[in-house]
């Protein structure tokens, strides 16, 4: 049953929630709506239909146009925006100490938060840049040792080739071996501790960009070597490295067939040399299932089920080594850097801890900003009163204070960026990283959105008791 009084009350509440109209405005509109309803009912229209017609378009029930122009001027007038900026800077000049403390406190909090965010983002980005990284897994083994289950990533070298040919859900598989050797080029001799002995599938799963040559060309020769740009500069300076010969351990000569970009710091594959495993590893070791000294990775098909595949891999291991109680598990590439081999958390707890610290610092900076601003709000009562006398409503006052707070925030943000740039070197020394100030990303935009939300709350806090 339609109740006109209840509907009008609900309509009035919807207008007051917007914060744009004063109580007197709403009363004026209510009177206008009631007149429209009365006229429509008199002409034969039902009460409910008359109410819908009178309230369906707020523009049709607005206050008289001349009154509206004075009471509710355009929100996007350039003059009003310029006045907001002028008032904000005028207050900064008159209240230098307060402005400095407010901006400096917020800038310090934002700078600390941003620095921690950069570290967190770097930790969470390890090896995420590889194509199909969400389908790349490392094969780990589990075996009983006493009354405990041990887990590590040392697996047989022939495992990759065996699983690639046996299971259709595996798209690619590779195995690599890490070694050290003395490498010589003419009179330059270095002890290299980051040499990767890999099979041809390595660069299919981990396609590090080639600067010279390509993966196909580089692995097409048994005596080929692929090096990084940094290594090429160390051995050959400005010379073209392609075709140059390197002596490894004084027994084998390898020719440079490819140069890849320097491997990013947020990758666990920190190698300088890539040599063909078939040349460097004896056949009996490459084909031995009892020698567990290599690391195996696979890339699954898009619809593959890792858990179901683990059962098959464990069965294959039992078939090859029936005397051993070894099972195989798959560890996602994205959950290797901050996790143990069995998947349990390791460094990830520190990422959560420092993320909480960053949030806490930002929250403290926002609260300090709000408190300092609110503490001085009473001193602006005369200004607010004068604005209301000349026709400003609650929404306009809110926008004035909100605009001022956003100007303070933008100045603090610029100061925070400058602090981050100046502290980048010491911060890298402290964390042992080589972070560079990045462009705006989703995480930074999220932080700025949080700051803007705090500023909005501050503006509402300041204006509501004065309106």
Residue 422: CA count within 13 A, CB half-sphere? 9
- H/E element holding 346? none
Which of residues 253 and 13 earns the better pLDDT score? Answer: 253
Model pLDDT, residue 306: 95
Please give the C-alpha separations between residue 303 and each of 3, 133, 316, 321, 406, in angstroms, as whole numbers: 58, 15, 21, 29, 48
**Residue 59 — very low, low, confident or very high, per pLDDT cuts 50/70/90?**
very low
Closest among 272, 185, 273 to 225, alpha carbons compared = 273
Give the Cβ contact number of residue 318 at 10 Å. Answer: 15
Distance between CA atoms of residues 369 and 104, nearest Å: 10
Helix (H, G, I), strand (E, B) or coil at 108: helix
Give the Cβ contact number of residue 324 at 10 Å. Answer: 14
Please give the C-alpha separations between residue 129 and each of 32, 100, 204, 296, 392, in angstroms, as whole numbers: 63, 42, 14, 19, 54
Helix (H, G, I), strand (E, B) or coil at 177: strand
What are phi and psi for residue 282, nearest 5 degrees? -60, 145
Closest among 86, 80, 82, 87 to 396, alpha carbons compared = 80
Distance between CA atoms of residues 182 and 191, nearest Å: 4
Which of residues 46 and 273 earns the better pLDDT score? Answer: 273
Whether 109 and 361 have beta carbons less than 8 Å apart is answered as: yes
Listed in sequence order, the residues at least 6 apart from 75 whose beta carbon sits closer than 8 Å to its beta carbon are 399
pLDDT digits (tens, 9 = 90+) for 67-88: 444 444 444 455 556 667 777 7
Lowest mean pLDDT among 81-85, 113-117, 238-242, 269-273: 81-85
Model pLDDT, residue 55: 80
**Residue 161 — very low, low, confident or very high, per pLDDT cuts 50/70/90?**
very high
Question: Which pTM value belongs to this model?
Answer: 0.73
Whether 259 and 241 have beta carbons less than 8 Å apart is answered as: yes
Whether 135 and 302 have beta carbons less than 8 Å apart is answered as: yes
Cα 452 off chain centre by: 19
pLDDT digits (tens, 9 = 90+) for 134-148: 999 999 999 998 889
Using left for φ > 0, alpha for ψ between -120 and 50, and beta otherwise, residue 121 falls in alpha
Asked whether the predicted pLDDT for residue 207 surpasses 60, the reply is yes
Which of residues 58 and 34 earns the better pLDDT score? Answer: 34
Which of residues 333 and 215 earns the better pLDDT score? Answer: 333
Asked whether the predicted pLDDT for residue 62 surpasses 50, the reply is no
Asked whether the predicted pLDDT for residue 159 surpasses 70, the reply is yes
**Residue 277 — very low, low, confident or very high, per pLDDT cuts 50/70/90?**
very high
Whether 271 and 203 have beta carbons less than 8 Å apart is answered as: no
Listed in sequence order, the residues at least 6 apart from 206 whose beta carbon sits closer than 8 Å to its beta carbon are 130, 174, 269, 297
Tokens encoding 236: 């050959």
Domain assignments of the chain as residue spans, ordered by start: 4-71, 78-124+348-466, 133-335
Whether 241 and 232 have beta carbons less than 8 Å apart is answered as: yes
**Residue 442 — very low, low, confident or very high, per pLDDT cuts 50/70/90?**
low
Supply the mean pLDDT for the chain: 83
Which of residues 248 and 146 earns the better pLDDT score? Answer: 248
Strands 292-300 and 170-185: antiparallel
Model pLDDT, residue 79: 54
Percent of the chain predicted with pLDDT > 70: 82
Model pLDDT, residue 400: 75
Model pLDDT, residue 80: 58
Which of residues 112 and 25 earns the better pLDDT score? Answer: 112
Strands 155-156 and 148-152: unpaired
| DSSP character string of 358-402 | HHHHHHHHHHHHHHHHHHTGGGGHHHHHHHHHTT--HHHHHHHHH
Model pLDDT, residue 462: 45
Using left for φ > 0, alpha for ψ between -120 and 50, and beta otherwise, residue 358 falls in alpha
Q: How much is the average pLDDT of 194-223?
A: 88
């Amino acid at each position: 049953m339609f109740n006109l009084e209840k509907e009008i009350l609900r309509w009035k509440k919807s207008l007051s929630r917007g914060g744009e109209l004063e109580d007197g405005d709403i009363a004026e509109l209510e009177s206008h709506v009631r007149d429209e309803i009365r006229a429509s009912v008199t002409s034969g229209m039902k009460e409910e239909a008359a109410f819908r017609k009178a309230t369906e378009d707020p523009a049709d029930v607005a206050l008289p146009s001349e009154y509206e122009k004075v009471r509710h001027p355009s929100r996007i007038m350039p003059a009003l925006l310029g006045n907001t900026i002028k008032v904000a800077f005028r207050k900064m000049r008159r209240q230098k100490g307060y402005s400095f403390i407010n901006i400096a406190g917020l800038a310090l909090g934002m700078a600390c938060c941003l620095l921690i965010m950069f570290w967190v983002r770097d930790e969470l980005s390890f090896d995420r840049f590889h194509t199909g990284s969400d389908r790349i897994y490392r094969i780990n083994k589990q075996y009983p040792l006493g009354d405990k289950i041990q887990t590590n990533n040392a697996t047989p070298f022939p495992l990759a080739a065996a699983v690639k040919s046996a299971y259709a859900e595996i798209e690619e598989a590779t195995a690599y071996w890490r070694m050290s050797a003395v490498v010589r080029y003419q009179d330059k001799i270095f002890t290299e501790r980051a040499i990767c002995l890999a099979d041809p599938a390595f660069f299919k799963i981990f396609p590090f960009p080639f600067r010279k040559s390509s993966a196909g060309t580089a692995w097409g020769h048994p005596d080929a070597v692929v090096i990084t740009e940094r290594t090429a500069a160390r051995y050959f300076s400005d010379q073209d490295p392609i075709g140059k010969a390197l002596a490894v351990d004084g027994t084998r000569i390898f020719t440079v067939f490819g140069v890849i970009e320097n491997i990013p710091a947020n990758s666990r594959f920190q190698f300088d040399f890539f040599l063909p495993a078939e040349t460097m590893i004896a056949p009996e070791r490459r084909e031995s299932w009892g020698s567990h000294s290599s690391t195996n990775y696979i890339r699954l098909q898009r619809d593959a089920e890792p858990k179901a595949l683990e059962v098959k891999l464990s069965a294959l291991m039992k078939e090859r080594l029936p005397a051993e109680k070894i099972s195989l598990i798959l560890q996602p590439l994205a959950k290797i850097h901050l996790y143990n081999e069995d998947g349990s958390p390791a460094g990830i707890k520190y990422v959560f801890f420092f993320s909480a610290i960053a949030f806490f610092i930002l929250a403290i900076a926002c609260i300090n900003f709000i408190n300092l601003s609110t503490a001085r709000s009473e001193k602006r009562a005369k200004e607010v009163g004068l604005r209301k006398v000349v026709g400003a409503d609650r929404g306009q006052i809110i926008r004035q204070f909100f605009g001022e707070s956003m100007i303070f925030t933008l100045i603090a943000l610029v100061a925070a960026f400058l602090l981050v740039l100046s502290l980048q070197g010491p911060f890298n020394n402290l964390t042992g990283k080589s972070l560079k100030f990045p462009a705006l990303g989703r995480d930074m935009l999220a932080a700025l959105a949080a700051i803007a939300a705090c500023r909005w709350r501050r503006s509402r806090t300041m204006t509501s008791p004065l309106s």
